[in-house]
Amino acid sequence: MDKSGNIHIKPDNDAERVAALERYQIAGSERETAFDSICRLACELFAVPISHISFLDAETEHIKADVGLGGVERLGRAEGFCTLALLQPEIMLIEDAREHHILASHPYVTGEIMIRFYAAAPVITPDGYIIGTLCLIDQMPRGLTGKEQELLQHLAKVVMEQTELRNDNINLISQRDKFIEIASHEMRTPLTALKAAAQLLGLKHADDDALIAQVNKSVQKLSGLANDMFDSIRLQEHTLDLKRSSTNLKIIVDSSRDHIRLSAKKELIIEGDLNIKITADPEKIERVLINLIQNAVKYATGSTITLRTDKLPGFVKVTVNDLGPGIAPDKLPHIFRRYYRSDPSGIQTGLGLGLYIAAEIIKQHGGEIGVNSAQGQGSSFWFTLPVSI
Ligand code: ADP
């Protein structure tokens, strides 16, 4: 330990250890409830006021979860005690840090934090690298029975299992995204050909209206799905370009309405002033509107859908209201998430992308999006857009 209390001992295999940690994509990641729960459980089980889970790379200790540390996210690797716990696969147990040959004069012991008891179980990968720690801390000296030490090691194994599950999940999502990107890209060329062929068919066989309309509807649905898939990846990578121009909300609403009439026999009532100038990508805003109205058509039982505009200072608020079943309160917070479907086993099919895309488009325009809904009382999806002066 140097004069400022930094501990500079590293295991011989530190570079390989750090490489193993990087495989798990966890150092520096956001907090996650599963890890917080393990810390809470540790505090309860061992009756300590402080517990934390840390992952340590070459220079930094990343605190993934904690109870009692006030949510601190990281510290220099040499600053804390955990760097010592990386040196051995067994539990590092300090019953009273004032009596420890290295740590007695450490600022965490002599200063305000007043650490006395410290126990760290290493988090070990299946191939044997110590990537992090599950720690217990108390300001009173104390010990751990053999049974308690075993239990702490078990909990550290749970941390490792959770880390692996989390990583498998990240990899699966990335594979799914890759697949969706390739599939939607491959669908584009044949879809363009199909659209052109359907148009030609319409010209040649104008007498068979119903059949042509059916073909057009299916092509349109397929294009919509392919576009949603394609754009959801672009949005995720922040590469969806907005083509902003000065336009009028009325033009966008009228054009969206034309699209809706194709597929629904429901009444769309417009309320409020539509004659509002906005600077926006009209195609993208139209897409948001079509999505909200189509969802109202799809999920609502009533025959009336209302689109209302309200002027707010510097913004216009557009609300699409339906008289459908509404959305359960526990589902509402997730409704704009990618691939989220509130009733995946229901009769209505979909990819769960429409609202995610709508939300991203509105956010990129500097507006907000939200929903008010109560079960059995319909839903009001709304968004705001800055108005042009
Ligand atoms: P999709 O319709 O393809 O499932 P969306 O992102 O458009 O995807 O919608 C996500 C989920 O939100 C839907 O699966 C549906 O359960 C719910 N939802 C959307 N709009 C409404 C609505 N107007 N009424 C009730 N539920 C809705």
CATH number at residue 218: 1.10.287
Domain-located, residue 34: yes
Q: Please write the tens of the pLDDT for every residue from 124-165.
A: 999 999 999 999 999 999 999 999 999 999 999 999 999 999
Given 185, 209, 236, the domain boundary residue is 236
pTM of the predicted model, to two decimals? Answer: 0.75
Tell me, in angstroms, the distance from the centre of ligand 1 to residue 218's CA: 20
Tell me which DSSP letter residue 168 carries: H
Ligand 1 touching residue 342 (CB < 6 A): yes
142 with 211, same domain: the answer is: no
Domain-located, residue 211: yes
Number of domains, the chain: 3
314 with 278, same domain: the answer is: yes
Q: Rounded distance, CA 159 to CA 177, Å? A: 27
262 with 332, same domain: the answer is: yes
51 with 150, same domain: the answer is: yes
Confidence of residue 264 (pLDDT cuts 50, 70, 90): low
178 with 136, same domain: the answer is: no
Closest atom of ligand 1 to 340 CA is 10
Domain-located, residue 194: yes
Q: What does pLDDT average to over the chain?
A: 92
CA dihedral of 169, 174, 177, 181, whole degrees rounded to 10:
-160
Ligand 1 touching residue 62 (CB < 6 A): no
Ligand 1 touching residue 300 (CB < 6 A): yes
% of residues, the chain, pLDDT over 70: 99
139 with 183, same domain: the answer is: no
Domain-located, residue 61: yes
Q: Which residues contact 290 (CB under 8 A, 6 or more apart)?
A: 256, 259, 260
266 with 327, same domain: the answer is: yes
CATH number at residue 116: 3.30.450.40
Ligand 1 touching residue 287 (CB < 6 A): no
Nearest CA to ligand 1 atom 11: 341
Full domain range(s) for residue 299: 245-386
Q: Please write the tens of the pLDDT for every residue from 76-94.
A: 999 999 999 999 999 999 9
Given 236, 254, 283, the domain boundary residue is 236
Exposure on the CB side of residue 323, measured as CA atoms within 13 A = 10
Q: Could you tell me whether strands 315-322 and 277-280 are parallel, antiparallel, or unpaired per DSSP bridges? A: unpaired
127 with 211, same domain: the answer is: no
264 with 355, same domain: the answer is: yes
Pocket test for ligand 1, best of 295, 340, 377, 381 (most atoms within 8 A of CB): 295
Task: Tell me the residue length of the chain.
Answer: 389
187 with 159, same domain: the answer is: no
Pocket test for ligand 1, best of 288, 291, 330, 342 (most atoms within 8 A of CB): 342
- Residue 379 contacts residue 342 (beta carbons within 8 Å): no
Mean pLDDT of the region 216-223: 87
